[in-house]
A and B are shown apart, each in its own frame.
Chain A
Amino acid sequence: MFKIRKAEMLCENICQQVIEAPRIAKTCEPGQFVIVRADETAERVPLTISDYDRKEGTVTITTQVIGASSYKLSQFKTGDSIADITGPLGQPSEFVNEPIEEVRKRKYLFVGGGLGTAPVYPQVKWCKENGVDFDVVIGTKTKDLLIMEKEYTEIAGEHYHLTTDDGSYKHKGMVTSVMDELIAAGNHYDICVAIGPMIMMKFAAKTALDAGIHTIVSMNPIMVDGTGMCGACRLTVDGEVKFACVDGPEFDASKVDFDAAMKRMALYKTEEGRAYLKAKEGDTHHGGCGNCE
């Protein structure tokens, strides 16, 4: 069992928990993920780490309530314990293991959409702490669904650009419109990191790639064990089969087959797809796949 140091709802359907997991806190790096199991009957859900504190021995996870297992997770309060948290899994972001003087020569453009706001955070924080230049664009559907504004304001200041699809707060439009403006204003970026819903990553990547920026995306397909054993998370990258859990979760966006990846996700995201899955999975489908929304 792993104790929850702090639990809160960040908005209507996103919860955030600080969990005591000293082994993970000691070795995790930006870009990596954990697998969480709320209780004995819950699924193993992969979640990208959204913060960590090595001294306190804690990691922070952020979850969107979309199925039975994520709902269970959202019901835990400060002081409760979750059954399992395993990790850190996957490869750290590339810059973590590159010579720091090389990384400092670059300027990064971080783009986070929706829940993707959370996993972008440790990368931005790392850059801030290591003196690396960046801009960060955060997009959300509407003001009420915005998360981690205070944290971003603190570490990114004027480099923090906020947009809402409906214009209910700050800039109005998709993340790509802010990216376009920043690029048009003469900002030069060497690397773009985009994390969020598959469709947002596809278009953010297109915008960045069209501007000649090397682009990284974080893929979060369905997983079971998270250590390479099951192959559920396989993706086509550069025509080769890769496992997101061991080879990723971050990949070169120019080599990812987004349409193939979306085909799988689409099933969990549309009414028709869910009905289809229900038929296929029969009474074992409880909406607990972690991807229905």
Chain B
Amino acid sequence: MATDVMKKVPVREQDPKVRATNFEEVCLGYNKEEAMAESERCLNCKNARCIQGCPVSINIPGFIEAVKNEDFKKASEIIAESSALPAVCGRVCPQESQCEGVCVRGIKGEPVSIGKLERFVADWARENNVKPEVKAEKKNKKVAVIGSGPSGLTCAGDLAKMGYDVTIFEALHKAGGVLVYGIPEFRLPKDRVVAPEVANVEALGVKIETDVVIGKSTTIDALLDEEGFDAVYVGSGAGLPKFMGIPGEQALGVYSANEFLTRNNLMKAYRDDYDTPIARGKKVVVVGGGNVAMDAARTALRLGAEVHVVYRRSEAELPARVEEVHHAKEEGIIFDLLQNPIEILEDENGWVKGIRVIKMELGEPDESGRRRPVEIKGSEYEIECDTVIMSLGTSPNPLISSTTKGLEINKRQCIVADDTTGATSKEGVYAGGDAVTGAATVILAMGAGKAAAKGIDEFLSK
């Protein structure tokens, strides 16, 4: 099948024209033959750089070898040693800057398609009802995990495998965190992929209590002092959406990407049989250039809008994954680059009728190393639109830090935690994921959850 060994076996995708009108998954994944053909491209390096490139250190050549031998069960067991969410990671990890980014195959040609192989194995395991096994002896110690996103699920899963009695507390009504409210159905199917992976974590013995807002319904101090938990892991996620502070931002039809995506993904506003409404704009402007901006733009497109992404730097600086930008362009998203909004214009009902932007050029590099965008005087113009979605990142939610005695936070309001153990300034309290780093990726949050599980085990084994 693979005629050119330098290239990846191509993965089948929904046609861009068709998928622009539905919420079905864009990427269809490898079938058995394609996966086995791709697995042949792995050189099975002795000193595998891909393992070091993976934040949760999956034995990548090991599982690919099992795929080569058509032993998919074994492949899934090898992945399960390191990751509780393989079907998720195979879909949303930025492999190009991690495992695939350091793949030796990538020096002369394309790297091995590790992400798509992981996805294949995880999907096979789910379809064939292969579940992770629990072997550990019960340790009779209780750990509370705050947040059921990728970081919390990973930490909880690892601790359960070690024999701890783990309860996850989730603020929303459904477990999964950003996997459920943030990442859209067309990139990560909820019922087919996320729910079974959450169920796998529960199958390890983890209890999940939804509708509990730590910092409000109860506090970390109460969990430790009154409810008998011996340690706590905080994986509470990113937090409050940022706005630009420009005139007109309170107009009707201005949403944060968080609100827009939560309405659509968690509350399923795109479906007729759910009560929650969502603005079906005719012309939507998404401000920002990250993965969340791409998700919001592609969601608005599927709801029937013409969508413009307005970003103040150039294409090279877009923080979104290349694959996401590529998919967005294929689907017909228009990129208005090197432009920055200065005002949102309202009609007589207070609804958005346009956005005033100014053109930018790139100047000297700033502290992030990227060239700083500078306004071009007199270049302002108006883009007509009826919906504006602000996707400018988030600032940490103070709910937990402000209600926990002795929990240190840094200047950016993020919880201070040790990189290798997740330990915070408060004994018995560990933290990781976006609550510590600010908005980052699913896999980095999982890496932090994994590290903290180890840290908590060491603390409780003392």
Contacts and interface: CB of A to CB of B under 8 A. Distances in A.
A280 B172 contact: no
B273 A229 contact: no
B253 A229 contact: no
Contact of B399 (A27, A246, A276, A277): A246
A142 interface: no
Interface string A244-274: 0010000000000000100110010000010
Given A42-B275, A230-B259, A280-B279, A27 B217 contact: yes
A163 interface: no
Contact of B304 (A26, A42, A282): A282
Given A24-B217, A264-B252, A281 B240 contact: no
B211 A228 contact: no
Interface string A13-36: 000000000011011000000000
Contacts of B258: 229-231
Contacts of A276: 349, 351
B212 A23 contact: yes
A133 interface: no
B440 interface: no
Contact of B277 (A42, A84, A228, A284): A284
7 contacts: A67-B275, A86-B213, A88-B216, A230-B256, A241-B250, A282-B304, A284-B276
The 7 closest A-B pairs by CB, nearest first: A288-B275, A230-B259, A282-B280, A231-B256, A84-B173, A86-B211, A231-B241
B250 A88 contact: no
Given A69-B275, A86-B171, A232-B259, A23 B239 contact: no
Given A229-B239, A282-B304, A263 B350 contact: yes
Contacts of B280: 280-284
B82 interface: no
A52 B167 CA distance: 27
Contacts of A241: 243, 245, 249-250
A260 B218 CA distance: 34
A42 B276 CA distance: 7
Contacts of B203: none
B277 A230 contact: no
Given A87-B217, A225-B171, A283 B272 contact: yes
Given A27-B217, A230-B256, A263-B350, A86 B397 contact: no
Interface residues of A, number: 49
A27 to B, nearest CB: 6
B353 to A, nearest CB: 12
A243 interface: yes
Given A267-B252, A280-B279, A282-B304, A224 B349 contact: no
Nearest to B226: A26
B8 to A, nearest CB: 37
Interface string B403-414: 000000000000
A88 B397 contact: no
Most chain B C-beta atoms within 10 Å of own C-beta, residue among A23, A84, A85, A285: A23
B321 interface: no
B295 to A, nearest CB: 15
B267 interface: yes
A109 B208 CA distance: 44
Contact of A68 (B173, B268, B275, B281): B275
B195 to A, nearest CB: 13
Given A27-B216, A86-B173, A285-B277, A227 B259 contact: no
Contacts of A41: 268, 273-275
Interface in B203-228: 210-213, 216-218
A263 B212 contact: no
B269 interface: yes
B180 to A, nearest CB: 12
Contacts of A267: 252, 349-350
Contacts of B210: 84
A190 B200 CA distance: 57
Interface of A: 23-24, 26-27, 37, 41-44, 67-69, 72, 83-89, 224-225, 227-232, 234, 236, 241, 243, 246, 260, 263-264, 267, 273, 276-277, 280-286, 288-289
Nearest to A223: B259
A85 B252 CA distance: 28
B350 A264 contact: yes
Contacts of A289: 277
B216 A236 contact: no
A173 B340 CA distance: 52
A76 to B, nearest CB: 15
B72 interface: no
A228 B397 contact: yes
A74 to B, nearest CB: 14
Contacts of A24: 217
Contact of B267 (A44, A88, A273): A44
B276 A43 contact: yes
Given A229-B258, A229-B262, A230-B262, A89 B216 contact: yes
A67 B218 CA distance: 31
Contact of A225 (B172, B245, B255): B172
B216 A229 contact: no
Contacts of A37: 173
A288 B262 contact: no
Nearest to A234: B250
Contacts of B243: 231, 234, 241
A241 B256 CA distance: 13
Given A84-B173, A225-B171, A263 B252 contact: yes
Contacts of B335: none
B386 interface: yes
A84 B279 CA distance: 25
A264 B281 CA distance: 17
Contacts of A246: 240, 397-399
A271 to B, nearest CB: 13
B461 to A, nearest CB: 31
A84 B255 CA distance: 25
A23 B262 CA distance: 25
A68 B276 CA distance: 9
B327 interface: no
Which of A41, A231, A243, A288 has its CB near the most chain B CB atoms (within 10 A)? A231
A288 B276 contact: yes
A174 B163 CA distance: 64
B240 A23 contact: no
Nearest to B395: A228
Contact of A236 (B250, B252, B279): B250
